[in-house]
Amino acid sequence: MIDQMYRKAVLTVAGQKTIENAVRARGWGMAQRFVAGETPQTAIQAVHDLKKDGIMANLDLLGEFIESPAQCTQFADNVITMLDAAHADGITPYVSIKLSSVGQGKTVDGEDLGLTNARRIIRRAKEYGGFVCLDMEDHPRVDQTLAQFRTLHSEFGGQHVGTVLQSYLYRTEKDRASLDDLNPNLRIVKGAYLEPETVAYPQKADVDAAYRRLVYAHMQAGNYVNVATHDESIIHDVQMYALAHGVSKDAFEFQMLYGIRRDLQRNLAAAGYRVRAYIPYGRDWYPYFSRRIAETPRNAMFVLRGMLKG
């Protein structure tokens, strides 16, 4: 409950224009802790740096709730430019996209623009042997995202497209089971949006318990699981579960956000686990940055200290 109140307070304050302007003006230095840079080149450099520690990468061009269809298509073009740049640099691209950024919910030429643009992105990623994960956004988008995932999976195959499920939503365990026929590559997260009690568990303990159930069920079904969390107790339990049930280390991976628990990322990689860092980059870093602050007061203190230093 306290977690929920803290998150709500931070996201409400962060949503105010005056706060946003102040943080945008003075906050880039602090945002760099969580965001690799503003250009594809800075993100690609971060991929190479992580590789030295045996950590894989997931590139994420920032941008949410982009308004016009032209902007959405431009955004998709920018993702494709990034795929080209990564490939040219010898990297097999692994990227995440938010369907809202590429036009989900906007109909152009009789088809959902998000689906059209996602197709273009996945087609290019597939040419390079790469992978595209469809991030999960706020709850009104879940049905459409899962339906579009199913379509894209049938067109490009599970080697090239995956999606995300959020353990805080009551519906998610049913959603996971309903996807089993695809043997999908799924990322399991707790969920980052401010959701009402009508759709999401308000208590952290319930979110955490559902998280474990989801990971175990997905492993048990023989599917590849991306265990995306910084929660050490869950990470430990997943390691134990995998050992006890003979799930090999290449049947799952741990995923964490760039700049968060770098020690844990390195230690897991050194212990032979697959580890991937989610590397956000781009000019539209403010909403992403606000959500990271809303996750833990420790991050808010980090920002406040930075701002006081001027």
Catalytic positions, written as ranges? 135, 187
State in angstroms the smallest separation of the CB of 166 from ligand FDA.
5
Whose Cβ is closer to ligand FDA: residue 132's or residue 256's? 256
Nearest to 72 by CA among 37, 95, 99: 99
| Residue 219 assigned as binding residue | no
Whose Cβ is closer to ligand FDA: residue 166's or residue 290's? 166
- E-only strand ranges, the chain: 56-61, 94-97, 107-108, 111-112, 131-134, 161-166, 186-189, 225-228, 252-257, 275-281
Nearest to 145 by CA among 181, 183, 179, 168: 179
Pair of tokens at residue 81: 């430019």
Residues that bind ligand FDA (CB under 6 A): 135-136, 164, 166, 187, 189-193, 228-231, 255-257, 260, 278, 292, 295-296, 298-299
Whose Cβ is closer to ligand FDA: residue 232's or residue 250's? 232
Whose Cβ is closer to ligand FDA: residue 4's or residue 73's? 4
Q: Per-residue DSSP letters for 190-244? A: ---S---TTTB-SSHHHHHHHHHHHHHHHHHTT--EEEE---HHHHHHHHHHHHH
Q: 3-class SS at 173?
A: helix
State in angstroms the smallest separation of the CB of 187 from ligand FDA.
6
State in angstroms the smallest separation of the CB of 3 from ligand FDA.
8
| Residue 136 assigned as binding residue | yes
State in angstroms the smallest separation of the CB of 246 from ligand FDA.
25
Whose Cβ is closer to ligand FDA: residue 55's or residue 136's? 136
**Which residues contact residue 251 at a Cβ distance below 8 angstroms, ignoring those fewer than 6 apart?**
219, 224, 225, 242
Pair of tokens at residue 24: 């945008």
State in angstroms the smallest separation of the CB of 15 from ligand FDA.
17
| Residue 190 assigned as binding residue | yes
| Residue 51 assigned as binding residue | no
Distance (Å, whole) CA 303 – CA 206? 29
Specify the amino acid at residue 78.
N
| Residue 98 assigned as binding residue | yes
The binding site for FAD comprises: 136, 166, 190-192, 204, 229-230
The binding site comprises: 98, 136, 166, 190-192, 204, 229-230, 291-292
The binding site for substrate comprises: 98, 291-292
